[in-house]
Structures are given as C-alpha cells and as structure tokens.
Structure 1
Amino acid sequence: MRRIPLSRRSHVTGFGSFETGLVEHESALERDFALLAAFDDPGAVIVAQPTTIRFETPVGARRYTPDFGVTWSDGRYELVEIKYRADLRANWSALRPGFVAARTTVHKDGGSFRIVTESAIRVPRLDNARRLLPLRTAPLDAELAEAAKTVVRRMGAATLRETVTAMPCDRVMALGVVWRLMARGDLVFDPQLAVGFDTRLRVS
C-alpha cells in the first residue's frame, strides 16, 4: 500500500472503513468527504489517489493526482479534488492546469471532475453521517424494529421523540432501535437537517 505522508494542514491521516472497503485519507476534510459519500450512497466505491495525470505546460511537463475516484452506485464516475477554499484562492493559478487536465482526461472516459470544499462537506448532513453510519450494520431487534415502524405508520409523520415515547420498551433501547432504522434507510428523514428529537420520520 502507498504510504501516506502527514498532511501539512491537519495532520489527520489514516483509513476509513466503509461498506465497500477501506479508504485512505490525508486530511480531516478528505476523511469527512469519504464519510459523507459513504453515508449518502452505501454502494459508492471510493478510491484514494486513483490515478496520476501527466500533462504539458509552457514551462514543462507536470503531473497531478486527484484525491479520490468515486464510482457511485448509479454507475457515474467522478474524479474528486478536496480543497479548503482558502487554499484554492491562494494557489489557484498553480492548481488550475492540473484541474483542467483531470477534467479533460476523465471526460474522455465518460466521467466528470469535481472540486469539493468545506462549504459542501461541513454541513449538518455530516453530523448525521458521523452519528448514524456506524449503526448501519449494527444488530437490530426485529420485533422492536417493526414496533417502531408501526408507530410511524400510524402517526403518518411522527417525530423522533413521538416514536421513541410510543415504543414498548425503555427510552434508551427505543432510541437505539430508531437510530439503527434511520441509518439503514428504513425510517426516512430529511438528511439536509441535523437529527434531533423534532426530526420527522416516515417509513421508507
């Protein structure tokens, strides 16, 4: 495996473990992007530094390696660069030729290139991913799961608080069951909003 150097900005390096495999990251922002992508699309295959693109400039040959290659479950493929907005502003003229080369290269194969900054990653949906993604494969009591879905069906659009209160078990156990159902997509909520007791749920 490729050895990952320490990130100059955040020193957060390592691996994230998701349903489709391990994903390397070199910064906290890269880690959070991978977490969010895995939460949004459980079938997404995320590969760190998938290719190195070589290209010519007026001052000579250069190369550029995008942060991620993502194959989404609907078949789309993206090369993704993760950058803080301040870094983009400060280094745009140096970075732009590599981005153009990446876009040109991936378009030939029917893919796309995208730059993602903290404004699209550090959103309430990320907090939901941090809380719920680890629960997606956690054990679930089938009888209590059905009880929770019955409560939500009966109310039409029950809040998380209403669902937990109406469950035939103690509050802690009920909350664990509801969170697991939300993580699995059996209970649907607005992912753009932070999860709280007033979050409205419906059965998938």
Structure 2
Amino acid sequence: MSRAIKANHLTVTGVVQNPAFRVTKGVPFESSLERDLIIMAQWHHGVKRITAQPVTIEFKDKLGKDRVYTPDLLVEYCPQPDPSWPQAVLYEVKYRKDLWADWKRLRPKLSAARKWAHERGWHFKIMTEVEIRIPYLDNIMWLRGYRDNHLQSPAVAMIEQFLKVIEEADIETVIAACSRDEKTKAIVLGVLWTMLAQGYLGTDLLEPLRMDSTVWLRRPEYDRKWPR
C-alpha cells in the first residue's frame, strides 16, 4: 500500500495539480526535484497515472533482517505500440550529493526495488538533478503557461496549412509565413506556443526551445521522446 506524504517544514512539499485533460488526481511531492519529475511525467501523452510513495517493499538485508523501502513515485503508462515501453516505472528521486552520501544505506533498498519491479515487468530508475533539470523541463515549464489558452485565432488554420505543405520548418519561418506585420507576428507566435503546449504541434523538447527549433504537425512517435 502507498504511504501518505506528511507536511515537512525543512523541504519543499506540496501537490502538483494535473492539467484538465489528464486523468489522474494531483500528485503530492516532498522536494522540488520530485515536483519537477512529476511535471515532466504529466506532460507525456502516454502517462495514465502518477502515484507518490505508491508501495512499501519488504526485503531482507544481508544479515537476514526484515527491512522496508518506499519508492518516491510510480508512473504508469497507457498501452504503447512500442513493445520495449514499460507498463510502469518506479522512481527514487534524490539530489546526487545526497545519493552518494547515503549510498551505503540506500544500495540494498534500491536493489530490492529493482528486483521487485522486474518481477512485475516494470522498470526501476534513480533520478537526480542531472537527469531532471534538463532542457526538457525548461521547455515544458515555459509551455505550461500556454496550456489553457483558447485556440480561436485564424492563425491556427494558417499554421496547419503551411505545415501540411512544407511538413516541418523552424519557428521563425512559420511566423514569417503566417504574418503580415509585427503585430500579427506576436499573435501568431502566441498561437504557435499554444499549439505546442496543447499537442497540436510537435518539436524536439529534449533540445532548448528557440526560434530556430523545428516544428511539425504532431507525430505520435515523438511522444516517446522524454527522459523516462
């Protein structure tokens, strides 16, 4: 069974609320690093559910003593066409300095979790700031500000029509093709960010999002490109 997260006055705690189009409830976190990983996972179209401290794993240490370990997060996925894609991934989230400082104590717990996950056809992964604080996170934090915008501008059809013909182009080229002056450039750019945020357009979010970033009408295979 999962373990409830308690308020903590020494670290950042809270709840990450899900966008309206997601199916799971808000997810509590115990650190800003956990919060950031939750935000990253929520952005992926294939994620079905995210659970904080989802299960307590029982195991024996090398002396035969009973021990327990609770992973930080469980991310479950909708069925994927790629057979290599896991049903679910258990995560331990730690700052790298804390992970190495506490490695001797953590190692048997993490080994037990990896074995427990493997027996269920799941994956187990350790995530630190090195894997989380990357351009992907920066990009979606920017796009989250456009996620709830309404797409009622004529620029939507213009962008779609342009990309149907040319297939893909950098953002600056799309803006130039769909604008007649500086005022409409600003409008079209806002619409383009919104279309990216809502999944109508695709781009490589693993690279920094800039005006020379390539965009296209969304292709499902690019939904797989996140650092799971």
TM range (shorter): 0.7 to 0.9
> Are 2:40 and 1:71 aligned?
no
> Are 2:97 and 1:121 aligned?
no
Matches within 5 A, 1:34-183: 34-41=38-45, 43-57=47-61, 58=63, 60-74=65-79, 76-141=87-152, 143-168=154-179, 170-183=184-197
Report the TM-score when normalising by structure 2: 0.79
Given the alignment, which residue of 213, 218, 223 partners 1:199?
213
Q: Hey, what's the Cα distance between the residues in 2 that align with 1:173 and 1:142?
A: 9
Equivalent residue of 1:80, what SS? strand
Instruction: Encode CA deviations 1:33-77: one digit per residue, 9 max, x unaligned.
Output: 111111233534110000111222227332111000110223611
Q: Hey, what's the Cα distance between the residues in 2 that align with 1:21 and 1:67?
A: 16
Change (3 A) 1:45 1:7: farther
When the two structures are aligned, how many residues end up with a matched partner? 202
Report the TM-score when normalising by structure 1: 0.88
Q: Hey, what's the Cα distance between the residues in 2 that align with 1:145 and 1:97?
A: 53
Instruction: Encode CA deviations 1:99-146: one digit per residue, 9 max, x unaligned.
Output: 112122222222121111111111111111111134334321163211
User: Deviation of residue 196 (structure 1)?
Assistant: 1.1
Letter in 1 for 2:191: V
Instruction: Encode CA deviations 1:8-29: one digit per residue, 9 max, x unaligned.
Output: 5xx2210111223211111111
Q: Check the 8 A contact 1:71/1:77 in 2, yes or no.
A: yes
Q: Hey, what's the Cα distance between the residues in 1 that align with 2:165 and 2:123?
A: 44
Q: Hey, what's the Cα distance between the residues in 2 that align with 1:140 and 1:99?
A: 45
Given the alignment, which residue of 189, 193, 199 partners 1:185?
199
Letter in 2 for 1:43: V
User: Deviation of residue 152 (structure 1)?
Assistant: 2.7
Percent identity (aligned): 33
Q: Which runs of 5+ in 1 are unaligned?
A: none
Q: Hey, what's the Cα distance between the residues in 2 that align with 1:166 and 1:12?
A: 45
